[in-house]
Amino acid sequence: MSSAGKPSVLVQGTLDMLILKTLALEPMHGYGIGARIEQISKGVFQVNAGSLFPAFRRLERDGLIRAEWRSTENNRQAKYYALTPQGRAKLKRATREWETQTAAISSILDASLGELS
């Protein structure tokens, strides 16, 4: 991932996992989810609306998240998303898989001839 301080392109398929993780902390509306991903990743990931909203629709259709209109702190109406039990299970699976894969990838990248012989 980029180290030049420029926003990075997400590895394909990880956006769903990031959204689920964000919602695992607390139910949140669309803007909040995007902002939180950006904030936690320290600005490495900037998610635009064109990826975010289709992802919400997809996750909602798959029954992984649930939407609900709620009043916000400044008394406006916003659509809040929350994890469903299926979503929680999916997040657990996806996290485990991700960890296995990244561990494998790092060990390949770290490999030197000496270790192999």
Partner 1 sequence: MKLTSRLAGGLRALFHRNQVEAELDDELREFLQRTIERNISRGMDVEEATRAARIEIGSIDVVKEQVRDVGWESRLEAFWRDIRYAIRTLFRAKGLTVTVVLTLALGIGANAAIFSVVRGVLLRPLVNRDEDRLIYIRQTAPGISSENMTFSVAEIGDFKSRVRSFNAFGEFSTVDFTVIGLGPEPRVVKAGVVNGSFFEVMGLRPVVGRLFNTQDDGPKAASVVVLTHRFWTTQFNSDPTVIGRTLRVASHPATVIGVLEPSVPYPTATEIMANMVTSPHHMEATMQTFRTHRMTELFGRLAPGAKLETARSELAAVHADMMREHPEAYSAGNVELRVTRLRDQIAGPARTVLLLLLAAAVVVFVIACSNVANLILARSVRRERELAVRASLGAGRRALRRTLLAESLVLCTAGAVLGVLLAEPFVALVGRYAGRFSIRALDVTLDASVLWVGAGFALVAAVLLAYVPRLPSTSSPAGLGLATGGVRITAGTNRKLRAFAMSQIACSFVLLAGAGTLVATLVKLQTTNTGYNTRNVLVFDIPTPAPNVARDAPSDFHQQVTRRVGELPGVEGVARAEFTPWRDAGSWPAMPITVEGYTPAAGEETYAQPRFVSANFFSLLGVPLLAGQEFTEADRLSKEPVAIVSQSLAQRMFPSRDVLNRHMSVKWPIGEPTSYRIVGVAADVDDMNVRPQPGLTIYTLGGGSRLFVRAAGDPHSLVPKVTRVIREIAANQAVEHAATLEDIRAEMLSPDRLNAFVFSGFAGIALLIAVVGVAGVLAFLVSARTREFGVRLAIGSSPRLLLAGVLRDGMRIAVVGVAVGVTGGYAVVVAAQRLFGSVQLPGILPVIAAAAVLIGAAIVASLIPAARASRVDVLQALRSE
Instruction: Pick from 31, 93, 101, 106 the residue near partner 1 by CB under 8 A.
Output: 31
Shortest Å distance, C-beta 63 to partner 1: 4
30 binds partner 1 (CB under 8 A): yes
Distance set, CA 73 to CA 61, 63, 84, 90, 109 (Å): 28, 27, 23, 30, 46
Shortest Å distance, C-beta 102 to partner 1: 26
5 binds partner 1 (CB under 8 A): no
Shortest Å distance, C-beta 61 to partner 1: 4
* E-strand stretches of the chain: 28-29, 65-71, 77-83
DSSP state of 26: S
User: Are 79 and 69 a contacting pair, CB within 8 Å?
Assistant: yes
**Residue closer to partner 1 (CB basis): 18 or 47:** 47
Gyration radius of the chain's alpha carbons: 17
Instruction: Pick from 50, 75, 108, 110 the residue near partner 1 by CB under 8 A.
Output: 50
- C-alpha 8/C-alpha 44 separation (Å) is 6
- Residues of this chain that bind partner 1 (CB under 8 A): 29-31, 35, 48-50, 53-54, 56-58, 60-63, 76-79, 86
